[in-house]
C-alpha cells in the first residue's frame, strides 16, 4: 500500500490538468485535483470559448449591409449585450459541469481550493488541509499582465471583459498580440468605437510579417483606429466617469474603458515552487525537460505555466504525454513541431509551420502568395482581401509553412496542417484538383513563386 495519500495531485483545473488527472485516474491511480476558481481554466471560462462565442456574435454586425447589397430588404440591428451575456454564462457553466463530471467519473477527488507546494511530495490547500502525493503536476496556466503605470488599475483585462454589465461605447485596447487584435475586431463588429495602441512597429509580433501588415490594413479598413509605436504612460478617471489615457508622442484618448492586452505571465506567484527547488525562468515559467519533469523529480508541469506553446490543444497533449510517461511506463515527449493555430480576427488568420522570415534564416525558399477579393466580397464591391501563402523549401520542395487570412481560415488550416505534418511537397499540393468556386482552391492553384531566395 502506498505511503502517500495520492499517486498524483494536480494543481490547476484547466484543459491540461483536467485531461491529465482524468486519464491518470482511468489507469487506476489515486488522483486529486485542486482548482481555486472554476473548472475549465482560461480556455473554457475566460478565454477561447467565450471569446469565440463573441466572435460569432460580432460577425453579424456587417451582415445587414452586405445582405442589402445582395438584394435583401433588411434593416440594421443593434447588439443587446444583456441578452447575449446570460446565454454566454450559461454555456460556460454547462461546459464547466462537463469538465467536473468527466474528472470525477473515474474517481478523482476534487478540491475547490488554492493549492501550494510545501515540499517535493506535499500540497497544502487554502482550507488548511495538506495531502501527500507520489507525483505533483503543476498546471496552473497563466494570467494577464498589467503594466506598472499610474492609473493602471482603471483598466480591465480579458478576464473581466466577459463579466461587464455594459459594453463600452468607446474602448482603448493596449497591446498588439492576438488577444488585442481579436478583441479589437470583436468589439468593432459589435458596433463599438475601438482604438488600439501598440508599442511595436506592427501588430502580431512573431507571426509572418506579410500577414501582419495585411491584417493591420484590414483592421484599419474596418474602422479600428490602430496606432503603432505608442506606449501608454498613465490613465486617469475624469469627472464624468470616463478614462483619459496618455501615451508617448503626446497621444491622448478619452474612452469608457481600457483593456490591457499586454501579454500573459505564467501563474507561479506564491506557489512555493522555488522554495522546494523547482527552477523557474526569468518570466516565472516552470522549467521542464522534454517529458515535462522539473528540477524536482516528483514534480511535473504542463501547459501555459511552462511558457512553451500557449495553446489549449498543446496543454492537453502535454497532459496525455505525462500520463503515458509516468503512469503507463511509456516515455513520451509531446510533439511541439508544426502546431497549427488560428487568430480570430475579422477575417481569421490560420497558420501552420514557419513564417517566411524564419524559413529564410534556415534555407533557400520559394514563396507563393496570392491576395485577392473573394467572390462574395467582390460581388458587393467590398475591398476586403483574402491572402493565401505557402513557404516551400527549394531543396526538398516540402511545404514549410502555410498562412491563410480569410473567412473560415481557422477551419481551412486544420486540413492543411495534416498534409504539412505528413511532409507534403509543393507538387502534392499542385496535384490536388481545386474545389471551385471556393477561396480555398487558391492553395492548390499558386504555380509561380512570388519571390525566391
pLDDT in tens, 316-329: 999 999 999 999 99
98-121 mean pLDDT: 95
Q: What are the structural domains, with CATH classification, of the chain?
A: 6-143+265-326 (3.50.50.60), 152-262 (3.50.50.60), 341-452 (3.30.390.30)
Catalytic, out of 135, 166, 336, 436? 436
pLDDT confidence of residue 453:
86
pLDDT confidence of residue 258:
98
pLDDT in tens, 280-317: 999 999 999 999 999 999 999 999 999 999 999 999 99
Gap between the Cα atoms of 156 and 194, Å rounded: 15
72-80 mean pLDDT: 93
Q: 264 has which bridge partners?
A: 144
81-95 mean pLDDT: 95
Which are the contacts of 413, defined by CB distance < 8 A and separation ≥ 6? 340, 341, 342, 350, 351, 352, 402, 404
Is residue 160 pLDDT above 90, yes or no? yes
User: What is the β-pairing status of strands 257-260 and 142-144?
Assistant: unpaired
For 159-177, the three-class secondary structure string (H helix, E strand, C coil) is CCHHHCCCCCCEEEEECCC
The reported pTM is 0.95
Query: Do residues 123 and 115 touch, judged by C-beta distance below 8 A?
Result: yes
pLDDT confidence of residue 1:
52
Which are the contacts of 339, defined by CB distance < 8 A and separation ≥ 6? 309, 311, 313, 314, 352
Catalytic (active site) residue 436: yes
pLDDT in tens, 209-256: 999 999 999 999 999 999 999 999 999 999 999 999 999 999 999 999
- Computed on alpha carbons and rounded to an integer, the radius of gyration of the chain in Å comes to 24
Query: Do residues 129 and 17 touch, judged by C-beta distance below 8 A?
Result: no
Amino acid at each position: 500500500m502506498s505511503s502517500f495519500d495520492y499517486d498524483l495531485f494536480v494543481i490547476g483545473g484547466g484543459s491540461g490538468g483536467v485531461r491529465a488527472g482524468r486519464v491518470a485516474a482511468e489507469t487506476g491511480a489515486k488522483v486529486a485535483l485542486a482548482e481555486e476558481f472554476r473548472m475549465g481554466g482560461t480556455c473554457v471560462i475566460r478565454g477561447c470559448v467565450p471569446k469565440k462565442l463573441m466572435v460569432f456574435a460580432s460577425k453579424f454586425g456587417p451582415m445587414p449591409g452586405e445582405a442589402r447589397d445582395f438584394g435583401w430588404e433588411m434593416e440594421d440591428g443593434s447588439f443587446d449585450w444583456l441578452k447575449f451575456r446570460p446565454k454566454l454564462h450559461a454555456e460556460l457553466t454547462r461546459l464547466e459541469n462537463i469538465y467536473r463530471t468527466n474528472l470525477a467519473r473515474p474517481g478523482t477527488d476534487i478540491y475547490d481550493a488554492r493549492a501550494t507546494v510545501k515540499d517535493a511530495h506535499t500540497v497544502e490547500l487554502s482550507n488548511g488541509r495538506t495531502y501527500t502525493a507520489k507525483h505533483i503536476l503543476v498546471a496552473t496556466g497563466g494570467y494577464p499582465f498589467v503594466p506598472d503605470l499610474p492609473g493602471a488599475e482603471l483598466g480591465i483585462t480579458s478576464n473581466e471583459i466577459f463579466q461587464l454589465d455594459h459594453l463600452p461605447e468607446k474602448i482603448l485596447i493596449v497591446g498588439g498580440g492576438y488577444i488585442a487584435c481579436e478583441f479589437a475586431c470583436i468589439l468593432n463588429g459589435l458596433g463599438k468605437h475601438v482604438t488600439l495602441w501598440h508599442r511595436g512597429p506592427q501588430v502580431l509580433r512573431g507571426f509572418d510579417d506579410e500577414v501582419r501588415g495585411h491584417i493591420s490594413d484590414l483592421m484599419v479598413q474596418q474602422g479600428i483606429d490602430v496606432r503603432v509605436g505608442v506606449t501608454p504612460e498613465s490613465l486617469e478617471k475624469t469627472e464624468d466617469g470616463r478614462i483619459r489615457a496618455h501615451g508617448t508622442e503626446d497621444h491622448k484618448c478619452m474612452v469608457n474603458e481600457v483593456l490591457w492586452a499586454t501579454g500573459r505571465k505564467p501563474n507561479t506567484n506564491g506557489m512555493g515552487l522555488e522554495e522546494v527547488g523547482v527552477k523557474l525562468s526569468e518570466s516565472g515559467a516552470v522549467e521542464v525537460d522534454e517529458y515535462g519533469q522539473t528540477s524536482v523529480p516528483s514534480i511535473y508541469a504542463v501547459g501555459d505555466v511552462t511558457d512553451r506553446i500557449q495553446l489549449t490543444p498543446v496543454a492537453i497533449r502535454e497532459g496525455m504525454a505525462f500520463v503515458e510517461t509516468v503512469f503507463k511506463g511509456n516515455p513520451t515527449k509531446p510533439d511541439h513541431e508544426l502546431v497549427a493555430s488560428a487568430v480570430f480576427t475579422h477575417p481569421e488568420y490560420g497558420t501552420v509551420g514557419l513564417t517566411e522570415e524564419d524559413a529564410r534564416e534556415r534555407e533557400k525558399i520559394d514563396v507563393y502568395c496570392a491576395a485577392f477579393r473573394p467572390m462574395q466580397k467582390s460581388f458587393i464591391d467590398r475591398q476586403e482581401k483574402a491572402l493565401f501563402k505557402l513557404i516551400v523549401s527549394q531543396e526538398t520542395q516540402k511545404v514549410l509553412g502555410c498562412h491563410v487570412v480569410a473567412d473560415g481560415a481557422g477551419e481551412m488550416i486544420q486540413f492543411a496542417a495534416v498534409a504539412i505534418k505528413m511532409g507534403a511537397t509543393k507538387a502534392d499540393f499542385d496535384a490536388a484538383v481545386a474545389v471551385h468556386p471556393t477561396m480555398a482552391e487558391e492553395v492548390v492553384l499558386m504555380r509561380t513563386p512570388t519571390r525566391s531566395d
